[in-house]
Amino acid sequence: MKIAIIGPTHPYKGGIAQHTTELAHRLVRAGHDVEVISWRNQYPFFYPGVQFVPADKPELEPFANTRRVLSWKNPIGWWQCARRLKHYDEVIFVWWVPSIQGPVYLNMLRTLGKNGPTTVLICHNVLQHAVGPVDERLARSVLNRVDTVVVHSEAQAALAQSLSHTPVVTLKMAAHLPGNPSRSKPHSKLYRHLLFFGLVRHYKGVDRLLEAMADVSDITLTVAGEMWGKNKDELMELAHKLKLEKRVTLRPGYVPAEAIAHLFADADALVLPYRSGTATQNADLAFAHGVPVIATRVGSIPDRLHDGVDCLLCEPDDATALAAAIHHFYEPGVARELSRHLPATTADHDWQMYIQALTQSDH
């Protein structure tokens, strides 16, 4: 098939860009002719973070057949791009921020028309975590114009179905694991140290994790990831209020792939204290490094992890429940048993299933 993917790609930072890049490579390996249409200007000027991985430190192989032509502020460019794609077999749109992608994708879908290529919308978030006044309206419009919507959790499938009549397919998000993870940790050794890894935003629940840390003793924590806006100051203030300065280390800033293994090397568990969520590959990343998970029951986490086997799960937005899970993790033998039962990575198989679902002719 001749396929176009519309979305961010490396060297844009983050899991969505990594997933899109890996998707393009995997489609080519499966025998398809693939072009990626990516962004020249992805976000307005008020985007709070740094958007690109440093040019001298690539984290995965860039996809060669990439055209960076889209700009959020250039509707003529959206229309020109869509006209080029009318004779493709399939166009895959990557979706996560309705207020940004919505106008662009609506323009392109209208230009492609009903008799154009098959259209698929991969929703990393059906609606973004902080929903704006026009997000739901834009999401409804776009979801109802594509042929198939792909999501990565049952909760997101239900949300997509509530917004449109388009067929929704739920697929396991195939892992794209940076940093060449390797399981070399001894099961018996405990460092009494926990890790939070990833972008720090309100829905990630890091404040609840700090509150939980105040209820446990003799345990340390590293919080590593980009901290937007006032997040860093607010977390530092909370850590000071809870008298955690000596036990909690804040490591603000994007974590390059080369530093990931070091973070996991002395962590007993990765903590995912999310208030809400869609799908995350961080649990897969932890398992690949030989580290179990303590997490909340949100998004795809309870669908993919096994409470009491490879992780401990608790209710979201509840510092007391999270503290209880941490206490239980450090009870004699619990951490060791969880570490012994971590699942093997199934990335190649998962990608094969993902590609097959995206390219089946009837969708």
Q: pLDDT digits over 282-329, tens only?
A: 998 999 999 999 999 998 888 889 999 999 999 999 999 999 999 999
Residue with the larger pLDDT of the pair 174 and 76: 76
Compute and round to an integer the Cα radius of gyration of the chain.
21
Confidence at 58, pLDDT banded by 50, 70, 90:
low
pLDDT tops 90 at residue 50? no
Looking at the chain, the whole-number percentage of residues with pLDDT higher than 70 is 91
Share of the chain above pLDDT 90, in %: 64
DSSP designation for 297: S
Q: What is the mean pLDDT of residues 38-62?
A: 69
The CATH architecture annotation of domain 193-340 reads 3-Layer(aba) Sandwich (3.40)
pLDDT band at 57 (very low <50, low <70, confident <90, very high): low
pLDDT for residue 187: 64
Q: In what order do the strands lie in the sheet with 269-272?
A: 248-252, 220-225, 193-197, 269-272, 293-296, 311-314
Binning pLDDT at 50, 70 and 90, where does residue 56 land? low
Of 44-58, 97-111, 113-127, 214-228, the range with the lowest mean pLDDT is 44-58
Q: Which of 162, 126, 168 is nearest to 147 (CA)?
A: 168
Instruction: Tell me how far apart the alpha carbons of residues 92 and 122 are, in angstroms, rounded to a whole number.
Output: 7
Query: Helix 206-213 to helix 231-241 angle, to the nearest 10 degrees?
Result: 10
Q: What is the mean pLDDT of the chain?
A: 89
Residue 148 is classified by DSSP as: E
Q: Which tokens in the block code for residue 344?
A: 């093997």
The better pLDDT of the pair 275, 178 is held by 275
- The predicted-structure confidence for 331-340, as pLDDT tens digits, reads as follows 999 999 999 9
pTM of the full predicted structure? 0.85
Q: What is the DSSP string of 8-67?
A: --TTB-SHHHHHHHHHHHHHHHTT-EEEEEEEEE-S-TT--S--B--TTS-SSPPPSSEE
One-letter amino acid for residue 194 of the chain:
L
The CA distances from residue 150 to 20, 92, 171, 285, in Å, are 14, 10, 7, 22
Judge whether residue 349 has pLDDT over 70: yes
Dihedral angle of Cα 113, 117, 123, 129, to the nearest 10 degrees: -20
Question: How far is residue 241 from each of residues 103, 163, 237, 244, 293, measured CA to CA in Å?
Answer: 44, 43, 6, 8, 27
Listed by start position, the domains of the chain span 2-176+347-359, 193-340
The CA-based dihedral angle spanning residues 229, 274, 284, 257, taken in that order and rounded to the nearest 10 degrees: 10
- Read off the tokens for 222: 């590293």
The confidence band for 84, taking pLDDT boundaries of 50, 70 and 90, is very high
pLDDT value at 363 more than 60: no
Reduced to 3 states (helix: H, G, I; strand: E, B; else coil), residue 187 is coil
pLDDT tens, position by position, 10-31 = 887 778 888 999 999 999 999 9
Instruction: Please identify which residue in the block is written with the tokens 């398992």.
Output: 287
- In CATH, what class is 2-176+347-359? alpha beta
Distance CA 318, CA 314 (A): 8
